[in-house]
């Protein structure tokens, strides 16, 4: 089934309005709004949203008790039940409110349309946490072979927004959980991405949370961390220095004067031998001649 280009403009382009006659319903392959037993409805496993705020659900349930379900659920008929395409939050709140039936529109969609509709609904309501949103974009790209530009068009976002969102999935899983739990923001999380060491990345995220650092302060902190030399490199430098000091001592004992070894990065360098008088220079020349014989 071809995907409707109007998806990015909102759910209205995917959800039909009320239908007056059965003839029109059949010809247009749409369904009128109807009441469905709430126990016959099940959530959609493809729903990008996994976390539901209990307090917010209770508030919606209180509103439903007073005003009813204002916007119908969008469902698809399965073997012995209906699957939610859009409106899981309303369904959950309706159950809390004790409703036996809920208004719904029954329609058939392709698997790709189901994912897109659920994603768009949640994005429009700002219901997804950053990781859920990123996972939904990733699924559209990987499972349905869409490009980032295609996804951006369907959800009315810029390509850069899609790219930056999906980059969050590269974070250490513990850092992702902190982002889901609102312990850090997306700005903090993006600032942490250059830190490739997962343990260091997580420890830095904890520092951000504990010290309540701003995004700007986090960016400065990350820059300073990236400038730090790894412990292995520091240990190697110390070992090299000890070796060259030992060589300096050995040459100094032979020459009888101060000797310095200047090492370059490419394993080249120079040896500097100090002398303090013409007589000492002549002594060193005699020593070199003796060593050369």
The first and second tokens of residue 106, run together, are 């029954």
As a whole number of Å, the CA-based R_g of the chain is: 34
> What residue has token string 């730090």?
228
CB 273 within 8 A of CB 285: no
Q: Exactly one of 54, 59, 83, 88 is catalytic; name it.
A: 88
Residue 184 makes CB contacts below 8 A (sequence gap 6+) with 175, 178, 205, 208, 209
**Gap between the Cα atoms of 98 and 68, Å rounded:** 11
| 217 among known catalytic residues | no
- What separation in angstroms does the CA of 182 have from each of 82, 173, 186, 188, 255? 33, 14, 9, 11, 67
How many CB atoms are located within 10 Å of the residue 75 CB? Answer: 26
Size (the chain), residues: 293
CB 85 within 8 A of CB 76: yes
CB 186 within 8 A of CB 168: yes
> What residue has token string 């020593």?
287
The first and second tokens of residue 197, run together, are 């060491």
Q: φ and ψ at 70, to 5 degrees? A: -75, -40
CB 140 within 8 A of CB 151: yes
Q: Which residues are catalytic?
A: 88
């Amino acid at each position: 089934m071809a995907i409707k280009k109007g998806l990015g403009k909102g759910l209205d382009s995917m959800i039909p309005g009320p239908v007056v006659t059965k003839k029109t319903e059949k010809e247009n392959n749409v369904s009128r709004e109807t009441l469905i037993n709430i126990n016959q409805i099940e959530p959609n496993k493809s729903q990008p949203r996994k976390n539901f705020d209990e307090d917010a659900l209770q508030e919606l349930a209180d509103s439903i008790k007073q005003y009813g379900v204002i916007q119908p659920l969008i469902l698809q008929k399965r073997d012995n039940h209906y699957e939610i395409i859009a409106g899981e939050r309303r369904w959950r709140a309706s159950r809390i409110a004790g409703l036996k039936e809920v208004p719904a529109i029954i329609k058939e969609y392709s698997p790709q349309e189901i994912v897109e509709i659920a994603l768009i609904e949640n994005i429009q309501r700002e219901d997804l946490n950053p990781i859920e949103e990123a996972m939904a974009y990733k699924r559209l790209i990987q499972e349905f072979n869409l490009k980032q530009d295609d996804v951006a068009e369907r959800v009315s976002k810029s390509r850069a927004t899609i790219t930056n969102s999906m980059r969050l999935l590269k974070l250490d899983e513990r850092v992702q959980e902190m982002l889901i739990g609102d312990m850090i923001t997306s700005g903090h999380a993006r600032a942490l991405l250059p830190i490739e060491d997962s343990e260091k990345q997580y420890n830095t995220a904890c520092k951000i949370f504990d010290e309540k650092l701003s995004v700007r302060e986090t960016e400065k902190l990350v820059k300073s961390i990236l400038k730090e030399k790894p412990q292995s490199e520091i240990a190697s430098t110390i070992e090299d220095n000890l070796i060259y000091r030992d060589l300096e001592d050995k040459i100094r004992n032979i020459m009888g004067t101060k000797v310095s070894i200047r090492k370059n990065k490419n394993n080249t360098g120079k040896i500097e031998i100090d002398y303090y008088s013409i007589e000492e220079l002549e002594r060193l020349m005699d020593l070199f001649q003796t060593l050369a014989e």
